[in-house]
């Protein structure tokens, strides 16, 4: 039966839009094979459900109008496809962490804690190494010097450099300065001053080399009996007196090497003696205060006073080599204590210049003294008292052994009071 062109066009419009039966069967076989061979169990179940839903849409299309069947089939396939994409995205992508925003100092007036910026070594084109000072060190030095002027420290009135008798000869004053530094090891300045006064008042003929050669060791030991390790220091002083008489014409050495060669004299004593007795600044005298405080400031990271001396001498101006010891010893005796630092009273903490400053009020401490024990020191029993400082707020416990009643650290200083 022949039909016109208009009739054929009309028939094509109302032709069912669902795929032929052969195409559906081919699609089912491919999807089922993939689900059976490659996908995991969960994927196979999901794909099988998709196949069933696809079949259901085709079945429905045969019993519904052509246009409605086509629309339902497309919506069902779009829904399934959209679900698969969402699940894949949420499984494989990890969420990004939001960047941490720091407060804006200009907008909010927030001052961040000082950072450790130690001295840096820079190698030049010719191979020479130059040391760049820590950033802002001059400001830290100036503020510390200003604080020292407001508070009088024991080193200001009873330091070893000020204990020599002004009425004695230059040779005797140099000797007294050296002996004072020898006595100050592991001893408070107040105790050292008392021992020096005993020697000046009770040595026959006054405090000079000849009197040290003549005095009996037992008498000398009794005169300095309050200092730490007085038995050892008695032997050292007697040996030094003999060496000065035999090798140095009765005077103390005028070189660092010569001073270090004496028994009981270390690098710190040698450099301080050269500066105080001879007026020559050959190096920095670094004791526990200088070593500890400069590390707290972040100027360097050292483990021994000698390493600290080398680091400081690499960049600190030479005109400050003599003063820095006196400056930091007094600062460590009054504000920056070994235990119980008073950061609330320190201008460096207020100016955010000290990276080791402890913010807030000092923690509550409880101090107790434990039983006095005996420590053997080269055949000598030395009384040792242990001070235990307990922090009730954060559970910090600090123990300090005072090796004698004249040790360098004061129990009151250890307690932070």
Active-site residue list: 268
Count helices and strands in the chain by DSSP H and E runs: 19, 6
- Strand bridging mode 380-391 / 373-377: antiparallel
Query: Could you read off the pLDDT of 364-399 as tens digits, one per residue?
Result: 445 454 444 444 444 444 444 444 444 333 333 333
Sequence ranges of the domains in the chain: 13-78, 137-350, 365-415
Q: Is 329 exposed, middle or buried (0-12, 13-18, 19+ CB in 10 A)?
A: buried
The 8-class DSSP code of residue 319 comes to: G
Taking a C-beta distance cutoff of 8 angstroms, is the pair 289, 332 a contact?
A: yes
The pTM (predicted TM-score) of the whole model is 0.60
CATH architecture, domain 137-350: Orthogonal Bundle (1.10)
Q: What is the pLDDT of residue 121?
A: 64
Q: Which of 269, 273, 259, 179 is nearest to 227 (CA)?
A: 179
Query: Could you read off the pLDDT of 89-117 as tens digits, one per residue?
Result: 334 444 444 444 444 444 444 455 566 66
Q: Is 194 exposed, middle or buried (0-12, 13-18, 19+ CB in 10 A)?
A: middle
- Name the least confident of 43-47, 131-135, 238-242, 244-248: 43-47
- Alpha-carbon separation of residue 31 from 19, 51, 72, 80, 82 (angstroms): 16, 8, 21, 14, 18
């Amino acid at each position: 039966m022949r039909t016109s062109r208009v009739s054929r066009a009309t028939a094509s419009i109302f032709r069912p839009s669902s795929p032929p039966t052969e195409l559906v069967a081919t699609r089912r076989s491919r999807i089922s094979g993939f689900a059976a061979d490659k996908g995991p169990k969960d994927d196979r179940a999901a794909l099988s459900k998709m196949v069933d839903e696809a079949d259901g849409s085709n079945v429905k299309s045969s019993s519904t109008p052509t246009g409605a069947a086509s629309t339902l089939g497309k919506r069902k396939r779009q829904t399934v496809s959209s679900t698969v994409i969402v699940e894949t995205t949420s499984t494989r992508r990890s969420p990004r962490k939001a960047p941490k925003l720091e407060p804006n100092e200009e907008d909010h007036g927030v001052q961040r804690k000082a950072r450790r910026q130690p001295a840096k070594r820079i190698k030049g084109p010719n191979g020479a190494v130059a040391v760049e000072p820590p950033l802002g060190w001059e400001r830290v030095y100036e503020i510390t010097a200003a604080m020292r002027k407001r508070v009088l420290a024991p080193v200001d009135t009873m330091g070893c450099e000020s204990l020599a008798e002004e009425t004695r000869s230059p040779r005797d004053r140099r000797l007294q300065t050296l002996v004072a530094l020898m006595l100050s090891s592991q001893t408070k300045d107040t105790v050292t001053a008392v021992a020096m006064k005993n020697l000046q008042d009770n040595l026959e003929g006054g405090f000079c080399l000849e009197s040290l050669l003549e005095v009996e060791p037992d008498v000398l030991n009794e005169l300095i009996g309050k200092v730490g390790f007085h038995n050892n220091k008695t032997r050292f002083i007697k040996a030094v007196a003999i060496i000065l008489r035999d090798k140095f014409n009765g005077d103390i050495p005028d070189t660092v090497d010569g001073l270090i060669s004496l028994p009981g004299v270390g690098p710190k004593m040698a450099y301080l003696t050269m500066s105080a007795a001879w007026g020559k600044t050959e190096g920095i005298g670094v004791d526990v205060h200088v070593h500890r405080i400069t590390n707290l400031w972040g100027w360097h990271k050292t483990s021994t006073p000698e390493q600290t001396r080398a680091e400081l001498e690499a960049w600190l101006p030479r005109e400050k080599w003599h003063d820095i010891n006196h400056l930091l010893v007094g600062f460590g005796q009054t504000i920056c204590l070994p235990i119980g630092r008073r950061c609330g009273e320190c201008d460096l903490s207020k100016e955010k210049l000290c990276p080791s400053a402890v913010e807030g009020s000092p923690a509550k401490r409880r101090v107790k003294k434990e039983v006095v024990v005996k420590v053997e020191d080269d055949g000598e029993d030395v009384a040792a008292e242990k001070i235990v400082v307990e922090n009730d707020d954060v559970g910090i416990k600090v123990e300090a052994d005072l090796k004698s009643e004249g040790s360098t650290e004061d129990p009151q200083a250890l307690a932070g009071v």
